[in-house]
Amino acid sequence: MDYKEIKDQICDVCHKMWQLGWVAANDGNVSVKLDDGTFFATPTGISKSFITPEKLVRIDASGKVLEGAPGYKPSSEIKMHLRCYEKREDVGAVVHAHPPTATGYAVAHIPLDRYCMIETVVSIGSVPVTPYGTPSTYEVPDAITPYLPYHDVMLLENHGALAVGADVITAYYRMETLELNAKICFTAHLLGGEKEISKENIDRLINMRAQYGVTGKHPGYKHYR
């Protein structure tokens, strides 16, 4: 895929996140790893509704800006993104947003760890709440690091959500799955509570990942801490 296509995909994802109400003002950020080990990242302080290809910045693995329009700096959460790439060779894109129902769980400190919806069990598994970190500091990457070997999707305590994937569309789909699952779990909770799938059926669903060609990590049965 050439740089133009990758930049267009990042812009598409940014616009969708804003349209879906997952971000307000300058919330959220997106990055993609390029073949040469550099990255495209969204700039800090700009609404995801206004992101255009020329506003994206290219950075190296230390966060240094290699290319970018004057005045555009990478996202203030770039340390969190770079930690995902550093710890996971398979990660090619990182998406951070504040989807409201999933973020409600992050604010309530409730992990989405009930295996009660088949699609979610197959695609992302349980979603932990990672410990609190002050935005833009190393507290955030340090908080997510213990979870990265097992999880492609995490809730950031009192903050929002993070999804990683081999490419930006995969990471974005995982964020969609998270938010839909949060809505379904919340509805089931109002209806008297989620009823979990049996361990035997959970194992069968997890084993189907290979058949569906699902990439990334899965926490397995109840492995969320």
Residues engaged in binding ligand 13P (CB under 6 A) = 26-29, 42, 44-45, 75-77, 135
Q: How far is the CB of 51 from ligand 13P (least distance, A)?
A: 10
- Give the C-alpha separation, 61 to 197, whole Å: 41
Q: At what angle do helices 168-190 and 3-19 cross, to 10 degrees?
A: 20
Q: Tell me whether residue 27 or residue 176 sits nearer to ligand 13P (CB atom).
A: 27
Q: Tell me whether residue 21 or residue 45 sits nearer to ligand 13P (CB atom).
A: 45
Query: Residue 102 in contact with residue 157, Cβ under 8 Å?
Result: no
Q: How far is CA 159 from CA 54, 123, 162, 182, in A?
A: 28, 23, 10, 15
Q: Tell me whether residue 78 or residue 206 sits nearer to ligand 13P (CB atom).
A: 78
Q: Tell me whether residue 19 or residue 215 sits nearer to ligand 13P (CB atom).
A: 19
Q: How far is the CB of 29 from ligand 13P (least distance, A)?
A: 4
